[in-house]
Each structure stands twice: as C-alpha cells, then as structure tokens.
Chain A
Amino acid sequence: MVAWPLIDQMNPAADTLALSTVDFDLTAVEEGQQVKVMWQGKPLFVRHRTKKEIDLAVKDDTASLKDPQTDAERLLQVDGAAGNAQYLIMGANCTHLGCVPLGVNDAGFKGNFSGWFCPCHGSDYDSSGRIRSGPAPTNLPVPPFKYTTDTLVKIGAKA
C-alpha cells in the first residue's frame, strides 16, 4: 500500500540491523565473576561459572522447568558445536519486563537457585539462566556466538 514507506521507516534502519559482532576476551573474567557486555544496544551477562554452579545447572536439567532447556543446549555455539561449560553468555534483561537481574555476588541478591534474581518482580533464575520461579515467561536468551580461539568469543557471529 501507499502508506507502507511511511510505516516501514520506523523499523530498524540498515545500520542498526547489521548484526554487529562483539569480540570478547574471556580471560578478563575471573572464576566466580561476571561481566556485562553491550551488544545490539542491550547488556549481556558473561559469567565464569564455578564448578559448584556448573554441577547445579546440570543436575537441574531434569527439574520441572517453565521453559525446558538443558544446560548443554544453552552452551552450544551458533554452528552447533559444543560450548564451554565454564563460560555462560546470555541476555541480561529479565524476560518479564526488561530489568537487569542481580547475580549471586551482587548486593540485594535474594534468589533461591544460585543464579540470578530480578528485584523488580521477583523472577528467580538458576545457574544456567533458566527461569525457575516468578513472572518471567522464558529463560534468559542465549545470543549466537562462536569461539574464535579457546579464550576469544565472537558474539553475534553468524553460522
């Protein structure tokens, strides 16, 4: 229709859409530490998980989950290759209304699953970033990424 250009102009522009990539050096993240990385205008969590957190995540693969996913699935690279269980990369916006949840080491953390807790309305995520309790409908989303070396990851990489 004639009006379409007037409407479509508001959709993301070409420069915004260009699936920008971010190269991140994982050696910057200590074990038990997390870092926030901006990608496509939104923050991501990059967490260097402890053995305890990894074991907890794998153990809960079979727990009753609102958005069922195994920990291994959430570590897969964009081309289907297995990822690295030590490093969890995922979106930092709660899937309820977009607040940034607090991690286990952050002040004010009140979660029950050793993962992330959103102070806005109480969504509680486990150590794999899966929603376990609260109003959020889905797990914290995992962006497409590819390891270019053992310690360098390209976030936003295409398959």
Chain B
Amino acid sequence: MSGPSTYQPNSGFERWLDARLPIVRLAHDSFVDFPTPKNLNYWWTFGGILAFCLVVQIITGIILAMHYVPHIDHAFDSVERIRRDVNYGWLIQSIHANGASMFFLAVYIHMFRGLYFGSYKAPRELLWMLGVVIYFLMVAAAFMGYVLPWGQMSFWGATVITNLLGALPIVGESITTWLWGGFAVDNATLNRFFSLHYLIPFVIAGIVVLHIWALHVPGNNNPTGIDVKSKADTVPFHPYYTVKDGFAIVVFAMMFAAFVFFLPNALGHADNYIPANPAVTPAEIVPEWYLLPFYAILRCVPDKLLGVLAMFAAIFVLFILPWLDTSKVRSMRYRPIARQFFVVFVIACLALGFFGGQPPEGAYLIGSRIATAYYFAFFLIILPVVGLIERPQRMPETIAQSVLRGAKA
C-alpha cells in the first residue's frame, strides 16, 4: 500500500498543473516514491522489460504500417521493399519481427516468476488474471502479425488455425466463414488481420494500466512471499528500482540486439520467404517458437474438437489458478514439495515447446501426451493437493530480517 501522497509541487507551474490535472502527482506516487519491498531480485525486472518491449513493438509497428500494404497482391513485396528500399527499413523490420520473440521470452519468464513466488495468490488474484488476459491478447496479436508478410507459413498457419474453429459443433462453419470473410483465407482475411493487429497492442496497453493499478493497491510481492510490515521493509521505487530495471533492460536489449543484427532470421522459418501459394502446402506447417507448446497440446489429442478445447483449456487453467492452489504459503522458496513439482513443470513446458516443432508421431507423440498430462495435472491435481499436505519451511519474520540474514536470491 502506498499511503498518502508525498508529492510536493516545487514550481509555480507544477502547482498550477497539480490543481487541475494531478498527473505529476500520480507519476510521483506510482513510480518515484512508491514503497517497494527492498528484497526484489532480478526475476522482478521483467515487468519493466515487458513495458519496454511493448513500446518498442508499437513504435516499430506504426512505422512499418506507413510502408506495408495489406493486400494479397502486394503484401509480400511491400515487406521486401521495407527491407531493401525504405531508409533503415531493414533495421525497423528486424526489430519488430525479433521483438515479438523477445516479448514472448520476457512474458514467459515473468509468468514463471509469478508461479514460483505465488504472486497470483490473494490479494493479487485480479492482477494475475489481468496478466493472463494480456498474454492471450499477445498471442492473438502475434498470430495475426505473422500472417501479414503473406509468406507460405503466414498463409498456411492461418489456414490451419482458422480451420480449427470449424470443429466447433453447429456454429463452427459459420464462425469460420465469418472470420475469413470468404470461403478461405484470402484478401478479406489479410486486410482485417492488419486492422486487428494494429488495434490489439493499444488494448494491451490499456490493460497494462489496469495491471499496474491492480499491483499498486496491495503493492509488489517479493521473493519471501511475506507481506510488507513497516517502512523498514521497503525502499522508494526511484532510484532503487528505476536503476535496477534500467540495467536489466540494457542487458535484455543487448541480447535483443544480438538477434536483430547478427541472427535476424534464426527464430523465423525459411518457408516464409516463399510467397503464399494456396495451391501448394509446405512440407511442414509450424507456428513461431513461442506458440509451439500450444501446437503440441493441440496435436497430441486424437480428436479435432477435443484438441482445440485442450489448447484453449491450457490458457484457461491459468486464469483460475488463484483458486486451485490451496497453500497458505506464497513463495515456493519455503515450499519444499511444491518446488520440486514446479521444476518438473518448467521441464514439461520446455518439452511441449520441443514436441510442437516435431511431427506428431511415434516417440514425439507419446512425449507430448505425457508433457500435456503433466501440464494439466500440475494445476488441477498437484497444486490443490500439495498445498493441503505440505509442511512449509520456516519463514523469516519480516522482509527486513530476511535481507539482514543474507537470504538467497
């Protein structure tokens, strides 16, 4: 909790503004003098990194939209023109395409942090749920964004995924036609995907505002999971965490730059350099790496409709997580049994990512089924049960005490 505002307007202008629109006060209370637990480790820098990613994607995206043409006869060529003829187009396009991957890398680390340290538990349930909404919108935006260059993978990925809706009983076919705006993925589809791809980041920005607001009501969680008890437990957000987050963003940007300048196509698929051809299906159809776990879940279920439901359930189960975990202890630092299941969970997620990129047959199929089973078991069986039977380790009295005793990161 932040308590009463400590902002003191210094100049005549500041006082004038504060009396009419206290926006500087809001910024001061939220990001300067905001009392933040003093023991936050580097896993807590990813929120700031994500904000950085969103801004980068919006800026590069708006610029790309000045040159991109959302028509099937021109889309592919307009992207090539951006890469070759538009001044610094090569740089802006590379940042945007690799930025999507960086965005997802950061969001997965951010989510795993939330799981491990119990940041989803009361009173932060809504904060967590807003996060899941943001994640879902990110997936939608990324999916549509990948269609825009209109390469073979753009077209066929769109065809496979939109065809899934046909599995829904009764309304399936009408919904698919409605989404396509025709009888197949075609120009109508491309055009509307461009419109929605431009829209969604701003919806995300709005929900990020709610996400930070929901965070600032109880205040940040921390690695011990115990509540802030006094001023001794906190430091002001500025300069401690502005500088720490700034440093983390610089390191993150260095890795980002390594991809942008030296490995610009490493995370993409070569087939997307072939213009879309509705008459020829590529040898393999795979989404970008950050969607592979869902692809694995989808394909490991033999029934089309059940596969679709399982894929959506994988996100939905995150939504209800605050009510699945029965533990009274937040941080897995002090939960010896839960911690081990969590490690296996991370491995299962990485395994799903691997299997999503393989043909769904033989050992790969068996593996993806095991990993999927564990994914759902972790949320629906393990977390509810372990919370009830586990004996947590001894926790420090206060955050300040945990820092003084030199607790591990």
Contact = CB atoms under 8 A, between A and B. Distances in A.
A38 B278 contact: yes
B192 interface: yes
Contacts of A64: none
Contacts, number: 65
Band of interface residues on B:
20 to 34
A121 B183 contact: no
A81 B385 CA distance: 66
Interface in A74-105: 92-93, 96-100
Contact of B283 (A42, A119, A135): A119
Given A98-B159, A98-B160, A100-B279, A41 B285 contact: no
B186 interface: yes
Nearest to A43: B279
B279 A135 contact: no
B323 to A, nearest CB: 32
B160 A97 contact: yes
A36 interface: yes
A40 B186 CA distance: 10
Given A40-B183, A97-B160, A97-B164, A13 B281 contact: no
B160 A41 contact: no
B88 interface: no
A13 B181 contact: yes
B182 interface: yes
Interface string B49-71: 00000000000000000000000
B177 A120 contact: no
A39 B182 CA distance: 12
B178 A11 contact: yes
B182 A98 contact: no
Contacts of B114: none
B281 A100 contact: yes
A10 interface: yes
Contact of B188 (A16, A96, A97, A99): A16
Nearest to B298: A97
B181 A16 contact: yes
Contact of B192 (A10, A16, A36, A100): A10
Contacts of A5: none
Interface in B96-117: none
Contacts of B304: 96-97, 135, 137
Most buried by B among A36, A43, A92, A97: A97
Nearest to B280: A100
Contacts of B285: 99, 120
A131 to B, nearest CB: 13
Nearest to A9: B181
Contacts of A42: 183-184, 278
A41 B182 contact: yes
Contacts of B160: 97-99
B214 interface: no
A10 B178 contact: yes
Contact of B302 (A16, A93, A98, A135): A135
22 contacts: A10-B181, A11-B177, A11-B181, A12-B180, A12-B183, A12-B188, A13-B181, A16-B186, A38-B279, A40-B183, A41-B186, A42-B183, A92-B279, A96-B304, A97-B160, A97-B164, A98-B159, A98-B163, A99-B156, A99-B160, A120-B281, A137-B304
Interface of B: 156, 159-160, 163-164, 177-186, 188, 192, 278-281, 283, 285, 302, 304, 360
Given A16-B182, A40-B183, A99-B160, 12 more contacts: A7-B178, A11-B181, A12-B177, A12-B180, A41-B183, A97-B160, A97-B163, A98-B159, A98-B163, A99-B281, A120-B281, A135-B302
